[in-house]
Amino acid sequence: MSVKVRIEPSGHEFDTAPGETLLEAAVREGFHLPYSCRNGACGTCKGRILSGTVTHQPYEAKALSEAERAAGLSLFCRALPEGPVVIEAREIGVAKDIVIKVLPCRVARMEKLAPDVMRLFLKLPQNERLQYLAGQYIDILLKDGRRRGFSIANSPAADEFLELHIRHVPGGLFSGHVFNTMQERALLRFEGPLGTFFLRKESDKPVILMAAGTGFAPIKAIVEQSLIEGSKRPLSLYWGARTRADLYLHDLALGWAAEHAHIRYTPVLSRPGSEDAWEGRTGYVQEAVAADWPDLSGFEVYGSGPPRMIEAAKGVLASRGLPADAFFYDAFEYARDPVPSP
């Protein structure tokens, strides 16, 4: 039996099917709410239940605290309505006309960018193209029904291939396959585009782009699309990594800054080794942003990286005056299944 859900303040309504989460139903019906991981790890889809009752599928406690849940907040990606529900959520209209598809693709090329980062170029079937916004991601669909999400690293305007940056996770099912057994011309299936991480073009505020590790992938797509469109909106890119080798496309980012006066690039290493001979910034990427910009009240910040970086950034950036609604982020975990909530 379907259940009616209303979104406030828009007043939009949709129905959920049995066993379907609030987020799954909203996306299926074309209502784009903020989300990222879709497995209860990042907290991007957090919103308020104004009326009605939901139960939650397993999620990670860091994504929704007991105090937040007691105050009426919910993770829409894990919330199952028990009856009619009214939720409070911010809708994102720019993505409303993009169609989510399940498509086959072929691995056209593989390129190792770092010892533990592989770049895949995926070729779609002839006469097929994926319409997406720079910053969105796709889910690779595994044969056992599991999914692995990866950001699209190239501009939608250069979509002959879809470019993915895949980090080798010790014990990782899919990343182990990519690094150990996958061959070019292998066939894959994916669903996408997904996510609500993309540049908000209705604003002309200067932008800070903050990436950690392979969180550089969606940032790369955003920068490339901005350059193709001829935008001169100021972009300050900060890329945090452990060692110099982890800045796997460092020269590309240096080139952007050298060739375009409105782009600034600051690499930050948290664990440089003696072999790196590093003379640049050290520490954590969010701390570097805060040190350089004591007043962020007139900025927008876009962050992409693991949840611990995103969570740390929220407090640090807020202390510099960044409004909560001016921080957009894509938080991801590396191939971890959710653990039961306490």
| Amino acid occupying residue 109 | R
Residue 333's pLDDT is 66
Residue ranges and CATH numbers for the domains of the chain are 3-91 (3.10.20.30), 98-194 (2.40.30.10), 207-331 (3.40.50.80)
Opening angle at CA 170, ends 167 and 171, nearest 5: 115
Residue bearing the bigger pLDDT, 296 or 62: 296
3-state secondary structure of 141: strand
Q: What is the mean pLDDT of residues 312-333?
A: 93
How far is residue 261's CA from residue 320's CA, in Å, rounded to a whole number?
Answer: 25
Percent of the chain whose predicted confidence (pLDDT) is above 70: 96
| Whether residue 202 has pLDDT greater than 90 | no
What is the CA 312 to chain-centroid distance, rounded? Answer: 16
Q: What does the block give as tokens for 54?
A: 């939901």
Reported confidence tier of residue 205, pLDDT bands at 50, 70, 90: very high
Reported confidence tier of residue 96, pLDDT bands at 50, 70, 90: low
Neighbour count for residue 45 (Cβ, 10 Å): 26
Give residue-wise pLDDT tens across range 52-65.
999 999 999 989 99
Share the mean pLDDT of the chain. 92
Residue 233's pLDDT is 95
Give residue-wise pLDDT tens across range 233-244.
999 999 999 999
Residue 340's pLDDT is 36
Residue 83's pLDDT is 95
Q: Is the peptide bond before 115 cis (omega within 30 degrees of 0)?
A: no
| Whether residue 34 has pLDDT greater than 50 | yes
Identify whether the C-beta of residue 293 lies closer than 8 Å to the C-beta of residue 313: no
How far is residue 41's CA from residue 341's CA, in Å, rounded to a whole number?
Answer: 11
Residue 127's pLDDT is 77
How far is residue 118's CA from residue 246's CA, in Å, rounded to a whole number?
Answer: 12
How far is residue 173's CA from residue 166's CA, in Å, rounded to a whole number?
Answer: 12
Q: Is the peptide bond before 9 cis (omega within 30 degrees of 0)?
A: yes
Q: What is the mean pLDDT of residues 12-33?
A: 89
Opening angle at CA 218, ends 283 and 125, nearest 5: 150
Residue 338's pLDDT is 39
Nearest alpha-carbon partner for 194 in 7, 16, 75, 44: 44
| Whether residue 67 has pLDDT greater than 60 | yes
How far is residue 173's CA from residue 168's CA, in Å, rounded to a whole number?
Answer: 10
Count how many residues are written for the chain: 342
Please state at what angle helix 216-229 crosses helix 250-259, rounded to 10 degrees. Answer: 30
